[in-house]
Structure 1
Amino acid sequence: MKDESFIIKRFKRIGVLTIASVYILILVGGIVRSTGSGMGCPDWPKCFGSWVPPTSLEQLPSDYLEVYKEKRIQKNERIGRVLQGFGFTEVAQEIFAHPSQYIETEFNATKTWIEYVNRLVGVVIGLLIVLTVLYSFPFVKRDPKIFWGSVASLFLVVFQAWLGSLVVSTNLLPEMVTLHMALALVMVAVLIYIVIRVDRVKLLANFAIPSGKVRFLLVGVLLLTFFQVIIGTQVREQVDLVAFGANNLGRETWIERLGTQFYVHRSLSILLVVMNVALYIFMKRLGNKNLVFIATSILVVIAAEILLGIILAYLALPAMAQPLHLLFGTLLFGLQFLLLMIYYYAHKPNQPSPELVA
């Protein structure tokens, strides 16, 4: 029993640490976007052909702009041919035709090292997920879902790394950036699931009567938040296009030039607030301290998101607010998924053998 308790605690610790690291990476990734450092390293996995990036222009060849642009184009052509082979002809043609891959990005030491730190954090997460898989082996027979969930998170982080290389080679192609963000949310959900599941016996049979309305509301809120984060990512891509077209001048006019997605994103935030307030009321009625605490935390995060949204809209998109807005948006998704998992297991019957519980 003592060994089993140690195995569960060890797995939970590494799982929680990995989730925290993913959120740190999301914050760093937001800083990369807000500072325009996404192409600070024009190649992948190395940075300017080296595992440790340069600190001055003198360390680079005189024709470095042309060299790395040509490498990106060649890589995109290889990717395009593979996609065409699998039948994704339209996607391949868009990669071929998109002008972003032909843009040359001049060396900037600060931006290069910001992007390099972003990659280092990604490496740390990869190592933590490898440990998560190793620590999940004791659950292979008694609870395969924990093991396979850990393996799924490993596949996701490997795919994310590969997708990150495409983001670089396509010079931040909007569709690639959006997919990169969506998979980060999926990875957070998988990690939360296995961490909650491993110790779910403590949550079982907390409520006698499950509520279909509450579960429906929880799923609806979660999907809406996922959609909001994705739209927010696309709005951020529109900001980049407006900034590029304005040569990074007239920042106070950028909001006015954004398309429909910005107004959809802003309008849906009202619905999100209403649904989460309703969720809080339901949790309050249930009287479970853990659920009420998470529901309260959700409202606090939403309040921070609203404040940051106002700052972004009315103070000319300050760079410091952008990564925080992204971080709190993804944190909101994580808290909602956590609430869903705890509520789900609270309605399961408390059986003697936890491995028999779905």
Structure 2
Amino acid sequence: MFSAQRIRLYAWLSLASQILIVVTGGLVRLTGSGLGCPTWPKCTDDSLITVPEMGLHGAIEFGNRLLTFVLIIIALLTFITVMRLGRGNRKGLVWPSLALGLGIVAQALLGGITVLTGLNPWVVGAHFVVSGILIAIAAMLVWRVYKPSESSKSNRTGLSWLVLVVGWISVLVGIVVTGAGPHAGDAKTPRNGLDLEIWQHLHSYPGYLMLALIVLQLWLSRKELAKLSSKITAGLFVASVIQAIIGVAQARLGVPPFLVAAHMLGASVIIALLTFNLVANKSSK
């Protein structure tokens, strides 16, 4: 269970589970189940778990809470396995594996605050920010587990930092857009009061800028397309184009729930790829 051969599996499970909980959390909100369990840490005042009276909404919300325990188990397996590695082999792995475990606990507490504040859109947004940070940490863990290296010198490290910053700005503005949109998680939950159409446009600007910077990065690496760093940048480009198409479609179609879920998945994948893109170019020497 804690053998060194399993560390790659646990690293990928960490990344996949962090993305998964974003998607399931989105489904809770999109199905109007945000207050399916109206209190925290119990599901109801009298029960730790959901009860039949809470119906499907209670089952969905409680199911998402249970997923947190899966993440904690994965984090524990990862951290213990890392600590059992030799001192030289665990270099660079300790802090991300530890941060994931601590972050999951912090995320659970923030989830409780989200429920206790009646799904305040700003608290819900903070919930996603923490998830994004944990996705980035998990991506860093995956990279350090594999320790890939390349021989040619890269002149794109600064550009990859710029892509990362602009990408995160797009994500943060997108969180504000979500708070202005129609899917609050519960019929009685107020939105943040901002104009959805205006903020959808504001969200698109850093998104398109990020896409342009990725194209520039690909152009600068056009003679090294076989390198891992270039392949990661190409993957980031494809994911960003798909994300832009989904974003335009959901704006034109009135923000349908299934496209919102796809957009949340896309944002999570892009956060991971932004991290890979940065560390890959930093590792090219």
Q: TM-score, normalised by structure 2?
A: 0.88
**1:14 is matched with which residue: 10, 13, 36?**
10
Residue 49 of structure 2 corresponds to 52
Structure 1 portions without partners, runs of 5+? 1-5, 57-106, 249-255, 348-358
Q: Report the Cα distance in structure 1 between the residues aligned to 2:186 and 2:109, rounded to whole angstroms.
A: 27
Deviations 1:81-112 (A, max 9, x none): xxxxxxxxxxxxxxxxxxxxxxxxxx5x2222
**Residues 166 and 207 in structure 2, CA contact (< 8 A), matched pair in contact too:** no
Matching of residue 129 in structure 1 with residue 75 in structure 2: yes
Residue 95 of structure 1 corresponds to none
* SS of the residue 2:92 aligns to: helix
**Residues 34 and 186 in structure 2, CA contact (< 8 A), matched pair in contact too:** no
**1:151 is matched with which residue: 64, 74, 98?**
98
Residue 288 of structure 1 corresponds to 226
* SS of the residue 2:62 aligns to: helix
Cα distance, 1:291 vs. partner? 2.6
**2:271 is matched with which residue: 326, 330, 333?**
333
Residue 239 of structure 1 corresponds to 181
Q: Report the Cα distance in structure 1 between the residues aligned to 2:16 and 2:205, rounded to whole angstroms.
A: 30
* SS of the residue 2:48 aligns to: coil
Residue 158 of structure 2 corresponds to 216
Q: Match of 2:49, as an amino acid?
A: V
> What stretches of structure 1 move > 6 A for 4+ residues in a row?
241-245
**Residues 36 and 60 in structure 2, CA contact (< 8 A), matched pair in contact too:** yes
Q: Report the Cα distance in structure 2 between the residues aligned to 1:324 and 1:166, rounded to whole angstroms.
A: 26
- The alpha-carbon distance between structure 1 residues 301 and 55, as it changes in their structure 2 partners (threshold 3 A), is same
Q: Report the Cα distance in structure 2 between the residues aligned to 1:164 and 1:244, rounded to whole angstroms.
A: 15
- The alpha-carbon distance between structure 1 residues 336 and 285, as it changes in their structure 2 partners (threshold 3 A), is farther
Q: Report the Cα distance in structure 2 between the residues aligned to 1:283 and 1:124, rounded to whole angstroms.
A: 40
- The alpha-carbon distance between structure 1 residues 117 and 232, as it changes in their structure 2 partners (threshold 3 A), is same
Matching of residue 343 in structure 1 with residue 277 in structure 2: no
**1:118 is matched with which residue: 58, 64, 79?**
64
**Residues 11 and 195 in structure 1, CA contact (< 8 A), matched pair in contact too:** no
**1:227 is matched with which residue: 169, 172, 188?**
169
Q: Report the Cα distance in structure 1 between the residues aligned to 2:229 and 2:142, rounded to whole angstroms.
A: 17
**Residues 167 and 206 in structure 2, CA contact (< 8 A), matched pair in contact too:** no
Cα distance, 1:150 vs. partner? 1.1
Residue 262 of structure 1 corresponds to 200
Cα distance, 1:195 vs. partner? 2.2
**Residues 150 and 194 in structure 1, CA contact (< 8 A), matched pair in contact too:** yes
* SS of the residue 2:119 aligns to: coil
Residue 26 of structure 1 corresponds to 22
Structure 2 portions without partners, runs of 5+? none
* SS of the residue 2:105 aligns to: helix
Matching of residue 180 in structure 1 with residue 127 in structure 2: yes
Cα distance, 1:260 vs. partner? 4.1
- The alpha-carbon distance between structure 1 residues 15 and 55, as it changes in their structure 2 partners (threshold 3 A), is same
**Residues 160 and 281 in structure 2, CA contact (< 8 A), matched pair in contact too:** no
**Residues 76 and 101 in structure 2, CA contact (< 8 A), matched pair in contact too:** yes
Q: Report the Cα distance in structure 2 between the residues aligned to 1:41 and 1:140, rounded to whole angstroms.
A: 44
Higher Cα radius of gyration: 1
Cα distance, 1:160 vs. partner? 0.7
Residue 310 of structure 1 corresponds to 248
- The alpha-carbon distance between structure 1 residues 208 and 310, as it changes in their structure 2 partners (threshold 3 A), is closer
Deviations 1:28-53 (A, max 9, x none): 11112222221111112321242331
Alignment RMSD, CA only? Answer: 2.5
Q: Report the Cα distance in structure 2 between the residues aligned to 1:55 and 1:151, rounded to whole angstroms.
A: 38
- The alpha-carbon distance between structure 1 residues 243 and 12, as it changes in their structure 2 partners (threshold 3 A), is closer
Q: Report the Cα distance in structure 2 between the residues aligned to 1:257 and 1:175, rounded to whole angstroms.
A: 15
Q: Match of 2:50, as an amino acid?
A: P
- The alpha-carbon distance between structure 1 residues 34 and 242, as it changes in their structure 2 partners (threshold 3 A), is closer
Matching of residue 160 in structure 1 with residue 107 in structure 2: yes
Q: Report the Cα distance in structure 1 between the residues aligned to 2:109 and 2:186, rounded to whole angstroms.
A: 27
**Residues 139 and 146 in structure 1, CA contact (< 8 A), matched pair in contact too:** no
Cα distance, 1:231 vs. partner? 1.3
* SS of the residue 2:47 aligns to: coil
Residue 142 of structure 2 corresponds to 195
Q: Report the Cα distance in structure 2 between the residues aligned to 1:50 and 1:283, rounded to whole angstroms.
A: 58
